[in-house]
Amino acid sequence: MRISELSARSGVAIPTIKYYLREGMLHQGEQTAATRAEYDGTHLRRLRMIRALLEVGRLSVASIKKVIESVEDESLPTHEMLGTAHYALSPAVEPEPDEEWQAARADVDALVEELGWDVHSDAPTRDELAQTIVRMRQLGVSIDLAPYAEAARKLVAEVEMGTIPFDGPRDAAVEALVLGTVLYGRAFDALRRMAQESESARRMTH
């Protein structure tokens, strides 16, 4: 298909497609004439993935670029590629140089240990959770993370992991992991806010 059809079918404007091509986020089409290239289903799928990560995942273009680079770097072993792509999904969190932060981070490390989870000591999710705990404590929001950890583990082990083709081609595995992380995450978040509305309504009218 030509770029105009690719644009129409993906819902991504032509200048944006050209930007992704220049940035290497989208592979070149097959040049059929000096000013004309042909695109195919792989281009359409990549554009839909970028759009989902932008709109649904609310990732920055820089983060999406990192995800795509790790998929395309053939020298990375599969588990490192998955790790790099996965870490790119975490928001950048700056550790704060005070005791509150250190206490929260120590609590996160203790929780991971207690859960027996296999999470790298440098994983950005540890700092992300530490930041959340610091903010909760400053605001006096009490928290027991155990039921959240158990619900997360259950959904990941029983639903999400089954959808990832670990034995297939590497880009299929990373795409499934990244999209699953982002899309199931948004779905869960919307459902949780629906449940809050529903439970609030019940408690206020009874």
Q: Which of residues 97-156 bind its own copies (CB under 8 A)?
A: 112, 117-120, 123, 125-126, 128-129, 131-133, 135-136, 138-139, 141-145, 147-149, 151-156
Q: What is the DSSP letter of 52?
A: I
Q: DSSP string spanning 129-198? A: HHHHHHHHHHTT-----HHHHHHHHHHIIIIIGGG--TTS-HHHHHHHHHHHHHHHHHHHHHHHHHHHHH
Q: How far is the CB of 17 from its own copies (least distance, A)?
A: 16
For position 204 contacting its own copies by CB under 8 A, the verdict is: yes
Is residue 94 within a helix (H) or strand (E), and if so which, with residue range? none
Considering only residues 8-67, where is the footprint of its own copies by CB under 8 A?
Answer: 45, 48-49, 51-52, 55-56, 58
**Alpha-carbon 124 to chain mean position:** 12
Nearest to 10 by CA among 26, 32, 22: 26
Q: How far is the CB of 75 from its own copies (least distance, A)?
A: 18
x/- site string to its own copies, residues 166 to 185, per CB under 8 A?
x---------xx-xxx-xxx
CB closer to its own copies out of 29 and 181: 181
Q: How far is CA 200 from the centre of its chain?
A: 30
Site for its own copies in 65-94 (CB under 8 A): 78-79, 82-83, 86, 89-91
